[in-house]
Structure 1
Amino acid sequence: MKQAPVGITILRGKTFLVEMANDSYLNIVARSEDELVGKLLFDALPEVQEYVEPILNNVLETGEPFHGDEFEVTLRRLGKTEQCYFNFIYKPLVEPSGEISGIIVVATEVTQQVLSKQKLQRSENQFRNLVTQSQFAKAIFKGKDFVISIANETMLKDLWRRAEKDVVGRKLFDVFPELEQQKFGAALKNVFETGKIYRENEAVAFVDGPDGTRTFYLDYQYAPIFELDGKVGAIMVSANDVTEKVKFRQQISDAADRLSLATDGTKLATWDLNLQTKDIIYSGRLATLFGYDEYKLLTHAELRDHVHPDDRFSIVEKAFEQALKTGSYYYEARVIHPDKSIHWIRTQGKVLYQDNHIPHRMLGTMMDITDRKESELALKTSEGKFRTLADSMPQFVWTGDREGNLNYFNKSVYDYTGLTPAEMHKHLWRHIVHPDDLKENTRLWNISIENGTDFVREHRLRRFDGEFRWKLSRAIPQRNPDGTIMMWVGTSTDIHESKLFIDQLETKVQQRTKELTVANNELIKTNMELAQFAYVASHDLQEPLRKIQTFATRILETELGNLSEKGRDYFNRMQASSARMQQLIVDLLAFSRANAIEKHFEKTDLNEVLKIAQEQLAEVILQKNAVIKSDVLPHQNVIVYQFEQLFTNIIANALKFVRPGERPIIEIKTGQIAGHLIPLSEADSGLNYTYISFSDNGIGFDQQFKDRIFQVFQRLHGRSSYDGTGIGLAICKKIVENHKGLLDAIGKPGIGATFIIYLPEAH
């Protein structure tokens, strides 16, 4: 049982006296055998009483064993409070008489397994949320059969037009057989076999749905998801529907030629063309339209050669042929000047016929429309960009004229409200603002229109399904150079979730504040009890020791001749033991004071603190002929009496652990250091620290014992070699932690040790 791989302990009686605990159990609770065995369970482990005592009492009362799986318990181990998880059994110990005399506990710690499981679950949830909450269409296909595992709302609603229950768990090409015959089937198989990401932009996809086959243009990506063995286990598809963008671009291209016919100008050139001989007569202005001096003579063929190749046959000659049939000649086309610059021209003409209705001449005008063409194209591009941007935004975008009459809503408004443009422009906000918000909404909007100030309002807007959601609406006036308002541009952003979250958070804050008040009162009560204990320890516990020392001294002084050599040795040992006990009580009180809640920080010259520490150790320093060298120490906000204790303990430690025959030399240095350069995981890389180091030439220590020396009652050497209680450095560490600092130790056996105090400069 002692060497069993699981923790075992035996508890006796209703007070749960620890009769036995094996090594595994001692390791679990981070206690030594002396600290646990022979003690009442909740004296040794007070932090578990809240969780364990009701269960133990029930086992004693009912005689029924209790099994705990992944049971959560708060334990204080090695000076730190930890959340731990255990699998355990509480089994009653039944005597032959039938009486339950105790409980045997068998426990195994499963903290790492539970934390790993929780971490894995969080990771899986985060990945699933990444997919389901993405604004882009996303889905995951598992295995070589591409079974649909996850599909977010955008994929289901916008592209597939299917319910989740109709697709999840089924093979992709069973649900959408038409996709396998398109490029997507081959691309998926290639990604699964090669493990390489595949991307394509504006790919055409034909997807069947309840409403028939629809054509989409998609920017999409197939990304492999690898298993632990390195093989592809699934594929995540991300798709962005750019159908509207592609169609809009096509419409822009088609509209460019039509809109170009609407441009006009004033600088005209005239021309007269003989349709039989192709001789042309023109005004001097016409030559300049083709980049020549106005006196340049050009033939009809030479003029045609200056027409842009893309426009000559498709526009100019086609218009010419049409004019011969209809009698009207019109086109807008590009011409290339001799310097290779491109310009736009517009030609209008009329065909003159002979008596037999044979085309004879064509008369017309020509003008440069480059500036107007470029301006029109820029304006169209700007307006197109605005509408494209507005319609691609999830927020509502709307505009109004200078009087505040709303005249434009982006696509998101219509999608949200379910209203047609005609219905929206008829009712405006009155139809969708919550009745409780409408009056104030109207009042604030009228104030903004009247004063020209920004409109900002949180209100509820009705969705197409009747649900009201909170929106933050904001509108700002657009002014011309003289400050006159030309229009209003507004947006509405969904804040529903954050609004509800803030309301819930306020409730939780009030509840937490109440809990903290109760906890604070309990803490004050605990501190008062701790103060009472300190008083008892410092007076009542030390009084018997002083009497033992006094009587032992009197016996040695008055009865020395009547005692044997062995008797005198016993009395000397008794005095030494009582002295160690008294020092142990003093050190425990010091450790208790270091844990005190009341901490009064004062701006203090640490040179004065060092001076006091040296005065307290003056006798030892003189006795050992020690040398203490120190830099000029800084001024710091510290708890003065604690820092006096800190300096005293570290210097006393250096004076104690001295190599035989060696003169102690202690060097104290100070400076600044960045947090990321400190070799301690607790250091804040974003802070700067002030350090104070104490280096000695003593016996040093093996670096593997660095953490052990700061633990209470831990010693690296026997009492016969060096005296002490094993509490001094634990007090030092506690004091530094009270100052939000760090304490490090560096040792080399036979060379010496260095203790470094790091204090954050922001403290």
Structure 2
Amino acid sequence: MVNESTELPNPGSYFDHQEDRNKKQSSDSESRFRDTMKQAPVGMVILRGEDFLVEMANDSYLNIVGRTEEELVGRLLFDALPEVREYVKPVLTKVLQTGEPFHGNEFEVTLNRFGKKELCYFNFVYQPLAETSGELSGIIVVATEVTQQVLSKQALQRSENQFRSLVTQSQFAKAIFKGEDFVISLANEAMLKNLWRRTLDEVAGRKLLDVFPELKEQKFIAILKNVYETGTIHRENEALAQVDGPDGMRTFYLDYQYAPIFEEEGKVSAIMVSVNDVTEKVKFRQQISEAADRLSLATDGTKLATWDLNLQTRDIIYSGRLATLFGYDENKLLTHAELRDHVHPDDRHSIVEKAFELALETGTYYYEARVIHPDKSIHWIRTQGKILYRDNHVPHRMLGTMMDITDRKESELALKTSEGKFRTLADSMPQFVWTGDREGNLNYFNKSVYDYTGLTPAEMHKHLWRHIVHPEDLKENTRLWNISIENGTDFVREHRLRRFDGEFRWKLSRAIPQRNPDGSINMWVGTSTDIHESKLFIDELETKVQLRTKELTIANSELVRTNMELAQFAYVASHDLQEPLRKIQTFATRILETENDKLSEKGKDYFSRMQASSTRMQQLIVDLLAFSRANAVEKHFERTDLNEILKVVKEQLGEVISQKNAVITSELLPTRDVIVYQFEQLFTNIIANSLKFVKPGQAPLIQIKAGRIAGQSIALSEADPGQTYTYISFSDNGIGFDEQFKDRIFQVFQRLHNRSSYDGTGIGLAICKKIVENHKGLLDATGQPGIGASFIIYLPEA
């Protein structure tokens, strides 16, 4: 109870006091905000209204724009700062209209400050100001000048650009490797074209060892690491380097330098590589050294003797090897006349003296002759020389070499003997035998050629093949022969050759190059064999094959047309069959619903059985349609993530999965080119099969795995041992099956269990097998009764 004498407070007075307190708190908050804003180290200004009246600005902002408080505060922004109108007004207007803040980074603007125009850069935020009513009344601007940072960054960029320009324009090969992984940052044209044989796009941003893995086995990576870690320059001359490129591995000799590039804090950030290719210089020096070595070998290893004859006095100077060529010890001193006396009498005048007289006329001395050793043995020598003249062209000296060629002469004699035997053997053969020189000019035909053509040797050598090859075969015959001569490959050609009576018969001609020990071609040996009867037989056989092929093509086209008609018939028939089935099911359901009380228990049972049978028949038609669709000619492949297909299938089977408390686990499946709707059906059938064939009271557990496997590891005869496959396996804990029946489960209408135990049409797995075959793959199954079953899909990777 309230005492009547107690004075109650005035409610109006209470709210007036509360409003005064709120105004005072608001005024104090605004005052603190303005004080904080004044002391802020960044430029801040408050703008009001659509004309952007400057309500206040702190000292930092005044310093940034080069204005006093009297010149800025209380004035319209673009009256006080007209130079920023073009850049700033559209942005401020949009912030005020949309209420969305605007952030600017390194914003460029020219200000009139400190008595001159200056190009400045700012980072700033335009934040809209809202009243308690939600209306936007102004904008608060927060600005920071970053002019020096931007100018420094630009200067650094210009410096870097100048440095890069210096590198790219250098006549020497240069590159820059960044970081401890030596990432290729830059390479000039000389490096890319001459040494790396690659474009900049092929190497830029990649690790050095990723581009040139062959450097792992060379010294350069270790040297680069040392330069990066120690910061010391490394130089080396004529370093051997192996560099792989599009044209294969090439060997270089390089003068190079690794120079570290330092950051401001003194840490190495990159390495500049400068390279000068001195391969040609090094190889030229090596060639000179090799030439000197070869000259030494020519005189020592080949047992070549040298001599110097004074043509005026007939005094001769020679190496010790020359005396041994005449049967003496190398220290034996012999005069020119004594050496001449050892020449075989039959060769002295006819060969040696004639060669000497010719040399006085031409300046070149050459002969091959026999010499008689003191032991009366006969040897062959070859002499080559050149005359040196005085100023008035008077012969003064003759310099030359001499070597023993006895072995070569004996080989030539043996070759002539062998050639005679060869010709005798060739003339006795019924086949054509012919030879040609190294350039392919035919120079020998055996007796069978002359007997066949009826030509004389003179006629044959004049016309060669042109006279006997059929005109229709001559052009191609000549082309192939020229190719063989040019490339040194065997010549094989079937052509028609004219017989002496004018008849053309088919011959198989083959020529093989005979090579010297150094691989060069010495001559060509060819044969021509009569294949006339077999050629006619083959031609006749080919005609029959072509005719049979044409008949098979027609039959195949007819079969394709028939299959298409059958498929169309099956499709139409299946659809037409479903309509009466739906009516049977509909009317049976209505009878059971409306006439249930009038039917006997046996009648109800009959109607239930009729409904079940029509349902099974409808499912059979659906499965037949699916099987027909799996055989369809049109197969549109798409690049598809199989995880997405699995997700869709699990959603479609969601109700069954939930009812049976099934658990499905899956590894990450690959992305493949597949026929999407067929793979959805494939996954659906296999998973539905595992959900169906479970032991009573057991929750299905399905594990899906994927990976790669070699064809030789797959236990299917159809697997290609040289192929690699992607596999996807579905394993369950169901009733399993005996593997002796494995082949049956993939056949149409084949079931391992009666329909009363497990429903189904016996088509589902047959459809699965057909779908996998459409993808050029293999389908396998394994199982154990009472343990579970696994279905494995193998898809070739190529």
Smaller-chain TM-score bracket? 0.3 to 0.5
Larger Rg: 2
Give the alignment's TM-score, normalised by structure 2: 0.44
Higher relative contact order (CA 8 A, sep 6+): 1
Give the alignment's TM-score, normalised by structure 1: 0.46
